[in-house]
A and B are shown apart, each in its own frame.
Chain A
Amino acid sequence: MLTILGQSARYCDGVARRSFLKIGGFAMGSAAPATLASLMKAEAATPNGNARQGKAIINIFLGGGPPHQDMWEIKTEAPREIRGEFSPIDTAVPGIRIGECFPQLAAIMDRLVVVRSVVGCEGAHDGFQCLTGWNRRNVESIGGRPAIGSVLGKLYGQRDPGIPASVALAEKTSHVPWSEPGPAGFLGAAFQPFRPNGKGMEDLTLNGISLDRLEDRKTLLASLDQLKRAADSRGSINGVDAFTQAAFGVLTSSKLAEALDISKEPAEIRERYGDGKPYKYQYDGAPTCNEQILMARRLVEAGVRSVTLSYGRWDSHGQNFDLVRDHGRKLDQAVSALVLDLEQRGMLQDVTVLVWGEFGRTPRVNDGAGRDHWPQVSCALMAGGGIRPGQAIGATNRLGEYAVSRPVHMQEIIGTAYHNLGIDVMNTTISDPTGRPQFLLDIREPMKELV
């Protein structure tokens, strides 16, 4: 209490109110922030206690479906109408060659893994599968499957009272499923990610009143809120209390608002990530907002466990090659900057980065120099989180039509991410609202090449 007064006194306001409150002699015992942590701990089965500290995931969704044969595996053997316009380039790992639009990623291939044979794509223009590993319809009647971020929130809770477990950076796109934030599914609204744009963002920073008046209100609330916490041993009242404290944490610590403010970042680092502008080919999809990738790093650094974002619109039914030149080079810059940045901060071992889309694209280039939908095979780029880097996994056939070696199901990639995050996918279940234990995934073995 004294601390509150001490801090506020600097603002020279409202002191009179708080002084008398002190004289009034009420117990102002606002619950320590630890309450939330202990609450979360109580309700979660917590595997690998210490291992999870600092573990996080940045899931970069390439909405629209990036052309797998123009990214990490150029089909040099294929005829021209299939191979397209790009040549492969050498990377830092001898023997691994990737598309020419990604020179900076090629230079750090020894920190990356590319998967050239992703299968199991549902074929819908929807980020849902990349965020959950599941079809949107799966167990829909009880709320659907939760995204990685919501699962982390459920199992681990928040790392810091001022910082939510899961943040979704994608701004709403005209084609809405491309900005899927990651559903809480059957875990319920409490585990929805924060969307710092629009309404969510508005609530995160103090609106219309000064920090000082908030302190006044907090003190007033503490002295008036007399309902005995013990009245509810099951914890729903205590839960609200903990969240109230956490909300004060968010509003007063400004940690979250600061993490979202990339102007706090040195100019040199911002330049490394770039800004992805001018935004091209955006239409009804997401912009190539490199700044969100920097923001993701700041959030993870501040204690967010899962950041999702939607990057670009890769639905290249026309002008496929121009689009990949544009989106590819911007992505190349941002993701290579992210991986090196995480490495320099000593976070790369803890933070899993996924870069992928909902499906691949047709082998044969169409009349408009575009490629159409091809759910038979897709691709992914992974980094960090403790995986064994410097690998290219799987391959498609000569024409890039289907996986010929090591087909990797989308759930394996999510499963590997869960593994990196310290979750024992083989044995972890979460009860759905009907009480039925649900595994996180159907395919629960992490990729043996990586772990």
Chain B
Amino acid sequence: MSKKRCVAFRFSLIFATLASAVATVTSASSATAEQPPVSFVNDVMPMLTRHGCNAGVCHAKAGNGQNGFQLSLLGFEPAEDYEHLVKEARGRRLFPAVPENSLLLLKATGAVPHGGGRRIAEDSEAAKILVQWIRQGALWDGSTAPAMVRLAVTPAKGTVQRHQTQQLQVSAEYSDGSTRDVTHRALYESNDRAMAEVSETGLVKVSDLPGKVSVMVRYQGLVSVFNAAVPLGAPVDSFPPTRNFIDELVFSNLKELGVPASPLADDSVFLRRVTLDVAGRLPTAAETAEFLASTAADKRDVVIDRLLASPEHADFFAGKWTSLLKNRRDDASDITSNFAFHAWVRDSLLANKPWDQFVREILAATGTVIGNPPVAWYKRVKEPKQQQEDVAQLFLGVRMQCAQCHHHPFERWSQNDYYGLTAFFSQVGRKPTATRGEDMIFHKRGVATAVNIRSGAAIAPAALGTVIPPIAPDQDPRLLLADWMAAPDNPFFARALVNRYWKHFFRRGLIEPEDDIRESNPPTNPELLAALEKHFIESRFDLRSLVRLIVTSSSWQLSSAPLTDNLADQQNYSRYYPRRLQAEVLLDAIDDLAGTRTDFPNLPPGTRAIALPDNSYNTASPFLRVFGRPENESVCECERGQSSSLSQSLHLMNAGDIRGKLASGSARAEQLAKSELPVEQRIEELYLVAFSRKPSPAELQTAVEYVISPQTDAAGNPIEPARAAREAFQDLVWALMNTREFMFNH
């Protein structure tokens, strides 16, 4: 009898003597009185969960329960499971006279054919527990058994060297004050299997990748997490200058991991990067020339402030938010609402409206879209459940979808939490207006509740664990939800926004995905996330101040060129992680480089793709579609296609619209071909626009020779010089456009 086994039972002393007796006893009746009582909820249920019986694809009710045997998903409803195990199907699943021959055991041990195969061995702890429980009368103890109150993993955090292992110990604490070791009963999952794998018995094996990794431990509906730092241990003597607390925390994390930071990016890269990330466009040739020539010590900060105040910054982020807020054109008549909502978002950002105010105006919107544009959100998101799910994911970084039907295994949210949050939206009234498709939104007098579909209970508004005092029938519950969000001690609101913005600038959220914040998905740098939250709350939810803080940091201004020792780093911000320009930005950038313009229907000529108010323009623009501009259908940023594809490459190389831009009579290639300026200067102009830098001598030589070399046609006759020059410049623009340096913000 191993030590672990003994600890696993509370009556360890008695057990030690009895267990050997049990092994030799063959008669069922004689042992009954002497065995330690087996608890259904605390012993049997965890075994079913551990061996996957109630997993979605097996006997979980949610997955229809194979062959009519239904259990609650991952055992969150023991009372139902007891019914199904003991009473359903005329009790055929248990055989009290000879417990070992119960169908439950025969199936689970594979003694009779079982679709799920052999799940447990006859002599395993799980089999013994089941047999003992049946022998003792298959009793229900859901109302008397001590409830589990805490799950603790030891160590909770630690440093594990590469290629090393760490054994976890897991203990469960019960409401009667007892604890037991459940290391061999709990379930383990690594959040990054490339970095660490974990065995069924809690042995963590770390690979050769340095960084932060965590292992989630689950047992009986509670979750605990082991956070590990896996240091590289490279020498980290110096870091770029610390500009603010971001640098202190990013660099101290890197120091702990022994991962060096790349040096600061040069001025060209910085200017291109900051203009693209803050304002969604390339710097102009003039801006670049001025910036590169300036010797002012604070020139980077000056550019940042100018960009933050620019209308393009508002355009760029309005595009981001209107997409997530589902500003979608389903019908031609939606155009009024689309334009009004987009303008409202853009103006709010231009005025740097505090974030809590912005959210409050959407959440608690009343009236018509003309009088109050944020009402448009209620036009697209009609049902209280959907409103709740969107608000939770978008503004709180919490995904509630699973909790509608079942308690999520990795989450603390129950169905009551789901319907409690939904209840805030239960009194949203709407009635049609004279304008087709537009409703007036108002507070429908009454007491807010939402019905839990499983229990049938009417649930009063409750905000993710925070009890809200009774709400008077005349009071709009949505205002109270907004109050709760904006409270300085709200644990979700500021965190969700800073993490989302962090991801915009650093490509990877401190928590990934950025809108899936939960205990079992820890941040890679918790201190940094906390400091950002504190800054954001103390600045009274000032978005611009947050952006300024991020882009003035040295951490954000690091070069993307890796060092040998930080090449593998993908989560600790030891260098800038490049990303392909998003569809609209890339289209605008191509127009800037080619010297052309894309026209969009119903919008003034010269409107840039980044300023498009809704998704309807995707239909007319194959470019935007191919490069993944979202259709504004999802609250998830993942709707935007950021991956590259063969069609994208073919489009850039060969599509009609790109060809038209290269060959247009007013295009830059044509202008440069005709220009009297020295050819070097003309090529320099292309480089300044495309890459915000001058060409290197080698690049210049390549390009110049490409342009001036004599050309012959297929028959060997010289091509007329004007045409040759035009084609040469078109080829140059084409080539620059297809470089990775152009397509990426790096």
- Residues on A facing B (Cβ under 8 Å): 11-17, 20-21, 24, 26, 140-143, 158, 164, 188-192, 194, 199-200, 202-204, 206-210, 212-214, 216-217, 220-221, 223-234, 236-237, 239-241, 243-244, 246-248, 250-251, 433-435, 439
Q: Are A142 and B645 in contact (CB under 8 A)?
A: no
Which residues does B use to contact A, with CB under 8 Å? 57, 399, 513, 516, 560-562, 567-568, 570, 577-580, 622, 625-628, 633-636, 638-639, 641-656, 659, 663, 696, 698-699, 701-703, 705-706, 709-716, 727, 731-732, 734-736, 738-741, 743-744, 746
Q: Are A434 and B636 in contact (CB under 8 A)?
A: yes
* Cα separation A210 to B713 with both chains bound (whole Å): 11
A20:B712 contact, CB within 8 angstroms: no
B734 touches A217 (CB 8 A): yes
Residues A190 and B650 in contact in the complex (CB < 8 Å), given A230-B562, A234-B577, A236-B580? no
- Most-contacted residue by chain B among A11, A141, A158, A229 (CB, 10 A): A141
A221 with B739, Cβ < 8 A, contacts A188-B641, A246-B646 known:
yes
Q: Pick the contact of A231: B57, B516, B560 (CB < 8 A).
A: B560
Q: Is B645 within 8 A of A17, CB to CB? A: no
Asked if A227 and B650 sit within 8 Å, CB to CB, the answer is no
* Contacting pair A213 B638 (CB below 8 A): no
- Asked whether B738 lies within 8 Å of A221 as measured between CB atoms, the reply is yes
A420 to chain B, nearest CB (A): 22
Can you pick out 14 interface pairs between chain A and chain B where the beta carbons lie within 8 Å of each other? A17-B705, A24-B701, A143-B634, A190-B648, A210-B714, A232-B746, A233-B570, A234-B577, A236-B578, A240-B580, A244-B738, A246-B649, A433-B636, A434-B513
Which residue on A lies nearest to B570, using beta carbons? Answer: A234
Q: How far is the CB of B269 from chain A (nearest CB, A)?
A: 11
A231 & B713 in contact (Cβ 8 Å cutoff): no
Question: Which residues of chain B are within 8 angstroms of A199 by Cβ–Cβ distance?
Answer: 622, 655
- B residues within 8 A CB of A247? 646, 649-650, 652-654
Q: Which of A14, A24, A208 contacts B711 (CB 8 A)?
A: A14
The 3 closest A-B pairs by CB, nearest first: A190-B645, A433-B638, A247-B649
- In Å, the complex CA distance between A439 and B63 comes to 12
In the complex, residue of chain A having the shortest beta-carbon distance to the beta carbon of B56? A439
Residues of A contacting B739 in the complex (Cβ-Cβ under 8 angstroms): 221, 224-227
Closest to A189 in B: B641
A246: chain B residues within 8 A (beta carbon): 646, 649
In the bound complex, do residue A231 and residue B638 qualify as a contact, i.e. CB atoms below 8 Å apart? no
Chain A residues whose C-beta falls within 8 Å of the C-beta of B645 in the assembled complex: 189-192, 243
By beta carbon, the residue of chain B nearest A206 is B654
How distant is the Cα of A90 from the Cα of B265 in the complex, in angstroms?
77
B111 smallest CB distance to A (angstroms)? 22
Contact assessment for A200 and B714 in the assembled complex, using a CB-CB cutoff below 8 Å? no
Q: Is the CB of A12 within 8 A of B735?
A: no
Query: Judging by beta carbons under 8 Å apart, are B578 and A232 in contact?
Result: yes
Residues of A within 8 A of B706 (CB): 17, 20-21, 220
Contact A224 B699 (CB under 8 A): yes
| Cα distance A350–B655 in the bound complex, in angstroms | 34
Instruction: Take A234-B570, A434-B638 as given contacts and tell me if A220 and B740 are in contact as well, using a CB distance cutoff of 8 Å.
Output: no
Q: How far is the CA of A203 from the CA of B633 in the complex (A)?
A: 28
Question: What separation, in Å, do the CA atoms of A208 and B731 have in the docked complex?
Answer: 13
- Of the candidates B562, B654, B703, B709, the one having the most CB atoms from chain A within 10 angstroms of its own CB is B654
B654 & A251 in contact (Cβ 8 Å cutoff): yes
Contact pick for A434, options B516, B626, B709, CB 8 Å: B516
Judge whether A141 and B578 touch: CB under 8 Å.
Answer: no
**Which of A12, A190, A244 makes the CB contact (< 8 A) with B712?**
A12
When C-beta atoms are compared, the residue in chain B nearest to A232 turns out to be B578
A141 pairs with B735, CB closer than 8 A:
no
A225, B739: Cα distance in complex, Å = 5
User: A236-B578, A246-B646, A434-B399 in contact; A16/B709 too (CB < 8 A)?
Assistant: yes
In the complex, residue of chain B having the shortest beta-carbon distance to the beta carbon of A439: B57
Cα–Cα, bound, A244→B580 (Å) = 14
Please state if B636 and A189 are interface contacts (CB–CB under 8 Å).
Answer: no
A123 to chain B, nearest CB (A): 21
In Å, the complex CA distance between A96 and B28 comes to 59
Instruction: Tell me which residues across on chain A come within 8 A of B646, comparing CB atoms.
Output: 158, 164, 190, 243, 246-247, 250
A14→B711 CA distance, assembly (Å):
6
Contact indicator A239/B644 (Cβ below 8 Å): yes
Q: Within 8 Å CB of B580, what residues of A?
A: 236, 240
Report yes or no: A13 in contact with B713, Cβ–Cβ below 8 A.
yes
B702 partner residues in chain A, CB cutoff 8 A: 21, 24, 26, 220, 223-224
Asked whether, in the complex, the Cβ of A217 is within 8 Å of the Cβ of B643, the reply is: no
Pick the residue among A203, A229, A233 that contacts B568 (CB under 8 A).
A233
Give the complex CA separation of A250 and B648 in angstroms: 13
**B740:A225 contact, CB within 8 angstroms:** yes
